Chains A and B, each alone.
Chain A
C-alpha cells in the first residue's frame, strides 16, 4: 500500500512582527531573579489582524504562486518546482495559471472556528474550485505530520495542499511566552519526480499518551510540565524507536541521514539525534531562534529549513511530536536547489517595540479604546454569502464591453463612458498589485492598533478601492507607494463571537519578503 509521494512546492509565512525575548524579559524582570545575559532571539507574533487562518492563506499563496516570470530566481518566499506535476511556473503575468488541487488540509491547534470549515474558507480565499476536498486537522502538534504520514502510508500521491499553521496564546511570564512563535507553512504534494523539491519515502508513527503539555477545548493557554521529564521519559524512549523502525522499513542506515528536522528545543534535539544515531546529521537552529516554536507548523518549517540546506539526494528525517511521534524519511531532489522560502520569511521581520501593544493585540490586557469600540460589528450572513466571491476571493468585475476593472462588481459598469448593464465578469484582484492614491492615519477611528490607516488604492489594471492598509507604522506610508493585498481579519464581533475577514493593502517597499510586483495585463 505505502508509496512515495512528491513534495512539489512549499511556501512559508512568518508574520512580520517580531518580539525580542530580551524585551519580554525586561517587561517581566520584576517577577524573576536578575540574570546576567538576556535571552537571545525573537519570536514571531501576529499583528492584531492575523490569526492561524490568515497565516495559512498567506503561506498557501506563496506556495501556489508560480515563480515570477522574468523577475529572477527567488523573487518570492514561495518556491516552485519547475516542471514537476504540471506545476511549471508560467508567471503571474499569465494570470490564472492554476494548479488543479484534489485536496486541501488545514492543520492547526488554534483554528479560529471550532465549528465552521476553516479549510473551506481558506480554499475560497485562494479562489480554488469548490470541488476541492477540504479537511481540518487539529487536536495535537502532530496535526500537520499526521496527514503526511497517511499519504505515504497509503501511497496517495494526489495533488494536495497541506497547510500547517499555529498562533498559540501564551500566558505572560510563562516559558511558552518566550519559546512559542506564530507561523505557517504550506506543502504542495503530488506525484514523485526528480524535479520536485523532495520525495517522501517512508513513514512511521508511534502513539503515547504522554501529557507533557495540554490545552483543553475552550481554554486559552497550554499547561506545560517540566521539559526534562518530557525529554527523558518520553522523547528519548519513543523517538529512537520510531526512527529505527522508519529507517529499517526503508532499508536505510542512520549514517546515511544528513538532516534531522525535529520539533524539539536545541538541547533535547541533540540528545534525540545522538540516541537515534543521527548525531552527525545537520539540525536547524534558525526557526526556534527567530520565529519560535510554531506548534503544528514547526515540523513543516523545519522540513523547509532542511531542504534549503540539503543537496540533491540527501536524506532527511522529519518528526512530528505530540503524544507520540510521526517520523518521515524524505529525500531532497534537485528542485530544492536555490530554495530560500524560509530564509526570506525569517528575514522579513520588524521588531515590535511595545510589549504592552503585543499583549493588547492578543487580548491579554484590555485597553480602553473608548465608546467607538462599542460599534456593532454584526455580519449580515445572507449578504456575506451572496457576495462571497467579492469578499473572500476579492473578485471585482471586468466589463466585457469597455474592459474597465472595478470593485465591487455591480450590475451597471462604473465607467462613465460605458455604463453598460450586466457586462461584468468576475476579476480577481487578490493577486494583483496597486499603488496608494490617498491615505490618512486616523487617530479618531476605532482601531486596536491606532492609527487606523486607510485610503484609496488604485489597482494596476485600473479600478479604485477605498480600503484599509496593514503592517505599517504611523508616518511610513506615502502617496504612490506600491502595495499588494493580504487576507486579514476585518472585524471582531464580540457580541456574537464572530470574526470576519477581508483583504487589505500592504506596502511592498516595507516588506523584503513580498514578491516584487509583476505586470498584470
Chain B
C-alpha cells in the first residue's frame, strides 16, 4: 500500500510574477521574474536545482513546445527538464512532477515553473484553438464561458433555483474576489465592484455576464521543493509541506453517458475524497483554514463548494450569500482574488494558488493575511484546479500544511 506524499516534500521557496496584461513582457521575462523571487526565498544557488518541470498550456501562442523555453530562459545547467500540460491543471501538474521526483528520492531539489502569455493574440478572451482532428468534426466550437455556463442552467434546474436568485449568489462570488484582490498588489484586477454591476454587465454566454468571468492574464509562478530534512538543514524553521496531491481526469462519462446531469463536476468530489484521505483530513469543513479553487467563472466556484464537500448539496447559494467563503467567513476562498482577479495565466494558475497558501501558512501574506481558526494563524490550505470544461475535465486537489519547527 502506497503511503502517498504526505509531509515527504517541503516548499523551499516560491515566486510569482505580477499578473495582468503584461504587454511589455514575454514568457521568458515572466519566468525570470517568478524565478528570481523563488530563488531568493529558497536561499540557494541556482545550480543546486537538479530537475525542473515546466507547465504551459497555449504553447502555440507563446513559448512553443517542449521544456526548452524554461531551460533556456533560466540558463539552467542542462538538468533534466520536462514540459507538462493538462489544461487548466497544468501548473499543478508541474508541481506534481517536481514533488514526486523529490518524494521518490530521484533528486533533492526540484523546480516547478508555470507560465502563460495569453495577451499576444490581438483579441480579448482565450485564444482560439482546434479541439482535435476528429472532435472538430462534431463538437461545437465552444468557448470556455459557454461550456461553463451550462453548469448554471443545469444547477438551477436541478435544485429549483430561479435564475435571478442563482445569479445573485454568483454576483456575490465575483464581488468577494474583487474585494480580496484590492489587498493584493500582484493581482490583475484590483477594483471593487457591486453585485448590481455584476448583474448589469454585458452578456457573455447565458447566464454569464462579463463580470462572472475571470481575467485573461499573463503571468508566471514557481516553486522550489525539497525534503523537509534538507529544508531544515538549509535553515528553514516553519515548513509548508505537501499533504496531498490528487489528480482526477474524466474518462468520457460526462461527454457520452446519460448518468451525468451537468449540474456539477464528476471529478472534483473524487479528487477531494482522495486528497482528504491522503492528507488525513477527517472533516474538511472544520479543518481547512483557507481554499483556492478554480473560479474560472462565478458558477464554477459556486458548484465547487459542494463538489469539495464544503457546502451541502443545493445549499451553496445560501452559504455564499451568508458570507461563509468571504474574507471574514468560516472558510475564506480566493483570499488573493482567485482566477477572477489575481488572474488566470493557465500554466501558472495552480502554482499561483500554492503561492498564496504558502504565504498565508507562513504568515507572510501582508495586508491580506488571515488569522486562521482561533486567531492562531492558518495551518491547512487547499488548492483546486479544474482543467477543461464540465463535459470533460481534469480536477486536481492539493493540500498544504504547516509543519512547525
Contacts and interface: CB of A to CB of B under 8 A. Distances in A.
A441 interface: yes
Nearest to B145: A444
A479 interface: yes
B133 A468 contact: no
B257 to A, nearest CB: 5
Contacts of A437: 154, 261-262
A463 B256 contact: yes
A379 interface: yes
Interface of A: 370-372, 374-377, 379-380, 383-384, 387, 390-391, 404, 406-408, 410, 414-416, 437-446, 451-452, 454-456, 458-459, 462-468, 474, 479-480, 490-491, 500, 502
Nearest to B124: A444
18 contacts: A371-B122, A376-B130, A380-B136, A390-B138, A408-B138, A414-B257, A416-B251, A438-B151, A438-B154, A442-B146, A442-B205, A444-B125, A444-B204, A445-B142, A451-B205, A458-B258, A464-B257, A464-B258
B143 A384 contact: no
Interface string B113-155: 0000000011101001010011011111111011101110110
B206 A500 contact: no
B256 A408 contact: yes
A479 B256 contact: no
Interface in B231-285: 251-262
Contacts of A502: 137-138
B391 interface: yes
Interface string B316-353: 00000000000000000000000000000000000000
Given A445-B143, A459-B258, 4 more contacts: A416-B251, A445-B205, A452-B140, A454-B140
A187 to B, nearest CB: 31
Given A371-B122, A375-B141, A443-B204, A466 B253 contact: no
Interface residues of B, number: 43
Contacts of B254: 464
B72 interface: no
Interface string B203-234: 11110100000000000000000000000000
Contacts of B128: 371-372, 374-375, 446
Contact of A454 (B145, B146, B259): B146
Contacts of A439: 150, 153
Top 4 A-B residue pairs of the complex, sorted by shortest distance between their CB atoms: A442-B146, A438-B150, A454-B140, A380-B133
B215 to A, nearest CB: 15
A384 B135 CA distance: 10
B141 A445 contact: yes
B157 interface: yes
B137 A379 contact: yes
A203 to B, nearest CB: 43
A414 B137 contact: no
B138 A372 contact: no
B257 A445 contact: no
The binding surface of chain B is classed by DSSP as loop
B153 A415 contact: no
B121 A371 contact: yes
Contacts of A376: 130
A480 B154 CA distance: 10
Contact of B258 (A384, A463, A480): A463
Given A375-B128, A440-B205, A466-B140, A404 B149 contact: no
Nearest to B151: A438
B32 to A, nearest CB: 30
B255 A443 contact: no
A405 B157 CA distance: 25
A64 to B, nearest CB: 24
Contacts of A462: 257-258
B206 A407 contact: no
Given A391-B137, A442-B146, A444-B143, A456 B256 contact: no
Contact of A451 (B206, B253, B259): B206
A440 B261 CA distance: 15
Contact of A446 (B130, B141, B157): B141
B205 A441 contact: yes
B143 A415 contact: no
Nearest to A440: B149
Contact of A452 (B146, B151, B251): B146
A457 B170 CA distance: 25
A456 B262 contact: yes
A383 B134 contact: yes
Contacts of B150: 438-440, 455-456
A500 B122 CA distance: 28
Contacts of A383: 133-134, 137
